[in-house]
Structure 1
Amino acid sequence: MSVVSFNKEKIMQNSEQAAKAMPAKQAKPVVAVVSPLSATATAATPASKKAGAWAAMAKRVFEGLLPPVIGLLIFGAIWSTVAALTQGLPGPVQTWHSAVELFSDPFYINNPNDMGIGWNILNSLKRVATGFALAAIVGIPMGFIIGRYAFMSKMAAPIISLLKPVSPLAWLPIGLLVFKAANPAAIWVIFITAVWPMIINTAVGVSKVPQDYMNVAKVLNLSEWKVITKILLPYVMPYMMTGVRLSIGAAWLVIVAAEMLTGGVGIGFWVWDEWNNLNVEHIIIAIFIVGIVGLLLEQCLVMLAKRYSYE
């Protein structure tokens, strides 16, 4: 063996022994350092979020309620001032006490001409519902026909333009002459009042349907029923519901005047009867009742429109 190879082998053995004798290098443990400030912020985050949500909700409630409350207070102040300056006009407090007494027994019946306020409201709503339903049955299909066919639109235009501006109460004598009774005559006035907005708004909606939609219907060879239900109705629904809302408002407005003239049981007749008895508190109460019922009817139609909206 040569001297060079002997020395190389010896050096390798010494290196292996030195490596075995060297202790293994230990890894330093990682210690997570958490700051007290960060721990406190983390623990307080859910509570702060909850407090922020409550603050936002309180702000929305405050902004939603404050303007109406201020408006009612101003209205009450003006009413009180006018009542103090006008002899015989009751103020808010006097009217409130009368309303509490009136609604303590709203469904009494002493005789056919002396019933509680509840029966009068229900009878008026019944007449409005009947006339309104008849107007919808006639007005909405007629609006589709007028808007769909140009010939029918030109034929109906002069009739609508002539009859629509006529005051609804001008139709009452015609109703009394034809039906020979006050109740159907009042329903006739409701019908003739409510039918025009339905016809006009529905016809306008149908006329505004894009021609591209109708061209697609022709290409697909859709039947007239499919065109109405799948194309016209979804597009016309907002226009139609606007006409319905206008109709119910006008119908409830007119029924009071019609019942004043026809008599019987109803909120209009009740107002006129209270005027004959010089009971001004009840007249003011009736004004609020008419307004509240009209508002509720309109809001019901708004919810119905949103429920069946195709938008």
Structure 2
Amino acid sequence: MNKELMKKIILPFIVLFLIIQFWSGLATIVEDFPTPSDTAVYAFGGETSDGDEIEGVLSDPFYIENQDDMGVFWQILESLKRVFAGFALAILVGIPIGLLVGMSKNVQYALDPFIQIFKPVSPLAWLPLLLFIFQDINATAISTIFITSIWPIIINTALGVKNVSEDYLNVAKVLRFTAMEKVYKIILPVAVPYIFTGMRLSLGIAWLVIVAAEMLTGGIGIGFWIWDEYNNLAYHNIIIGIILVGLVGFILDVVMGRIADYFDYRKRM
């Protein structure tokens, strides 16, 4: 085992140890704050430090009691459905707009101010308006994800187009390519790595937004589940929910990163 690999394994465990120590210290200072050991019991089941027997959240994540009472697996699955629906819409709309912004100065001048204005707007600012428009939890969550995650796709796609060499574009003129031929044969092969970088950022934002959206809109989903546990004063489960959200977000980022690397011609050279 080489030194670099050892560092990648050992250093995260050192940080984890420090986090647990800080967590344990916080639990001694803040009254009723969950300890690491009790949180583990609430996650996997067993006996708490107070002697209570607990059936853990992760001991049966697939149960379905009724439409409003489901295991944490189904909560995450519902959230992922909304995330990918909004993310797919952002791809379908964002890539063409990004191509237009990158290829045309006039389109860039027309749209850039609005991109810069709406890009930093919090998803929580959109939620009340979208809920008023759609009067539906799923449509509101999906549209919120779409609006807040489309900007990285547009910006990175436009950046990819602008990185196309002038020499390539001159060749397209010599060969008398049509606009569509220029896009498919010249621009997209160069812009694809940038597009996937934008998609990776967009997916991360989508997963971030869904938790906040579900907390406010209710229904089924990991965000609402965390908020419901707060209302039930189940602080152990809130921490479990935070960890699950982080792990799912990490997996999504890794998968999207691998896909981006596969389509990045620069890493295959």
Aligned to 1:71: 15
Q: What is the deviation of 1:225?
A: 2.5
Task: After superposition, give the CA deviation of every residue in 1:226-272 in whole Å (9 maximum; x if it has no partner).
Answer: 22122211211222122111111111111111001100000010011
Confirm or deny that 1:87 pairs with 2:31: yes
Moved over 3 A (4+): 58-61
Aligned to 2:48: none
Aligned to 1:301: 256
Task: Report the Cα distance in structure 2 between the residues aligned to 1:161 and 1:308, rounded to whole angstroms.
Answer: 28
Q: What is the deviation of 1:158?
A: 2.1
Any stretches of 5+ residues in structure 1 without a counterpart?
Answer: 1-56
Specify which of 220, 236, 248 is matched with residue 281 of structure 1.
236
Number of residue-to-residue matches in the alignment = 255
Aligned to 2:135: 180
Task: Report the Cα distance in structure 1 between the residues aligned to 2:169 and 2:218, rounded to whole angstroms.
Answer: 51
CA RMSD of aligned residues (A): 1.3
Aligned to 1:206: 161
- Residue 203 to residue 59, structure 1, CA distance change in 2 (3 Å): closer
Decide whether the 8 Å contact of 2:193 with 2:263 is kept in 1: no
Task: Report the Cα distance in structure 1 between the residues aligned to 2:4 and 2:162, rounded to whole angstroms.
Answer: 41
Task: Report the Cα distance in structure 1 between the residues aligned to 2:32 and 2:184, rounded to whole angstroms.
Answer: 58
Task: Report the Cα distance in structure 2 between the residues aligned to 1:99 and 1:58, rounded to whole angstroms.
Answer: 35
Q: What is the deviation of 1:58?
A: 5.5
* Amino acid across the alignment from 1:287: I
Task: Report the Cα distance in structure 1 between the residues aligned to 2:167 and 2:144, rounded to whole angstroms.
Answer: 40
Aligned to 1:258: 213
SS in 2 for 1:172: helix
* Amino acid across the alignment from 1:230: K
Task: Give runs of aligned pairs for residues 124-163 of structure 1, distance below 5 A.
Answer: 124-163=79-118
Task: Give runs of aligned pairs for residues 162-177 of structure 1, distance below 5 A.
Answer: 162-177=117-132
Q: Which moved more, 1:98-107 or 1:220-229?
A: 220-229
Task: Give runs of aligned pairs for residues 32-43 of structure 1, distance below 5 A.
Answer: none
Which structure's CA Rg is the greater one? 1
SS in 1 for 2:120: coil
Specify which of 18, 41, 53 is matched with residue 97 of structure 1.
41
* Amino acid across the alignment from 1:183: N
Q: What is the deviation of 1:209?
A: 1.7
* Amino acid across the alignment from 1:112: Q
Task: After superposition, give the CA deviation of every residue in 1:278-307 in whole Å (9 maximum; x if it has no partner).
Answer: 000000000001111001001001110111
Decide whether the 8 Å contact of 2:87 with 2:203 is kept in 1: yes
Task: Report the Cα distance in structure 2 between the residues aligned to 1:291 and 1:135, rounded to whole angstroms.
Answer: 22
Task: Report the Cα distance in structure 1 between the residues aligned to 2:212 and 2:132, rounded to whole angstroms.
Answer: 18
* Amino acid across the alignment from 1:253: L
Task: Report the Cα distance in structure 2 between the residues aligned to 1:88 and 1:229, rounded to whole angstroms.
Answer: 60
Task: After superposition, give the CA deviation of every residue in 1:108-147 in whole Å (9 maximum; x if it has no partner).
Answer: 1222221111110000000000000000000011100111
SS in 1 for 2:131: helix
Q: What is the deviation of 1:61?
A: 4.0
Task: Report the Cα distance in structure 2 between the residues aligned to 1:269 and 1:281, rounded to whole angstroms.
Answer: 16
* Amino acid across the alignment from 2:80: L
Q: What is the deviation of 1:310?
A: 1.6
SS in 1 for 2:265: coil
Aligned to 1:234: 189
Decide whether the 8 Å contact of 2:83 with 2:142 is kept in 1: yes
Q: Using structure 1 for the length normalisation, give the TM-score.
A: 0.79
* Amino acid across the alignment from 2:36: P
Q: What is the deviation of 1:159?
A: 1.8
* Amino acid across the alignment from 2:232: N
Decide whether the 8 Å contact of 2:149 with 2:203 is kept in 1: yes
Task: Report the Cα distance in structure 1 between the residues aligned to 2:260 and 2:117, rounded to whole angstroms.
Answer: 30
SS in 2 for 1:102: coil
Q: Using structure 2 for the length normalisation, give the TM-score.
A: 0.91
